[in-house]
Amino acid sequence: EVYENIYETVDVSGSPEIRANATAKATVAAFAASEGHAHPRVVELPKTEEGLGFNVMGGKEQSSPIYISRIIPGGVADRLNCLKRGDQLLSVNGVSVEGEFHEKAVELLKLAQGSVKLVVRYTPQILEEMEARFERQKNSRKQAGP
C-alpha cells in the first residue's frame, strides 16, 4: 500500500528514461521501508563531558549487530532527538563496526573528540529478537543453577 501511489508522488523532470529510473528507485525505497528495511542515515553528536547519551549492545561475540539499546533520558542523544532505540550502529567516524566486537565500537565512541559522526539504520525488530534471545539464555542459566 505504501508504494502503490509512488508514480504520482515522484516529481522528476527530464526524459522518460530518467523519470522511469527515479520512479523505480522511489518504489524500491518505499517497498523496503514498508517491509522494515530502513535506509542508513548519518547522525552527528557533540561529544560532551556527560558522554553521548546512549548505550549499545550486541557485537560479533554475541553473533549480532551492534545496536542502540537505550537512549539516556536528558542525555545528548535524547535532547537532539536524533537516535532511536533499535538503531543499528554501522560506523563511527567513518570506521565500520559491522561484524565487529562490542568493545571495538565502545572504544571508537570513547576515543572520539569534539563530535561523533555515526551511520545508523533503524531496524528495531532485530533488536527485539536479540533481546528475546538474551532473555532466554539468562533464564536457562538460572534454571541450570550453580
Q: What is the pLDDT of residue 55?
A: 95
What's the Cα-to-Cα distance from 67 to each of 70, 87, 97, 107, rounded to whole Å?
A: 9, 6, 10, 15
| pLDDT exceeds cutoff 80 at 28 | no
**CA proximity to 8, closest of 17, 18, 22:** 22
At residue 9 the predicted structure's pLDDT band, cuts being 50, 70 and 90, is very low
Average per-residue pLDDT for the chain: 81
pLDDT above 90 as % of the chain: 49
User: Which helix H or strand E contains 128, and what residues bound it?
Assistant: helix 124-144
At residue 143 the predicted structure's pLDDT band, cuts being 50, 70 and 90, is confident
Q: What is the pTM of this model?
A: 0.67
| Mean pLDDT (whole number) for 92-98 | 95
At residue 6 the predicted structure's pLDDT band, cuts being 50, 70 and 90, is very low
Q: What is the pLDDT of residue 5?
A: 43
| Mean pLDDT (whole number) for 47-53 | 90
At residue 61 the predicted structure's pLDDT band, cuts being 50, 70 and 90, is very high
* Cross-strand partners of 51: 48
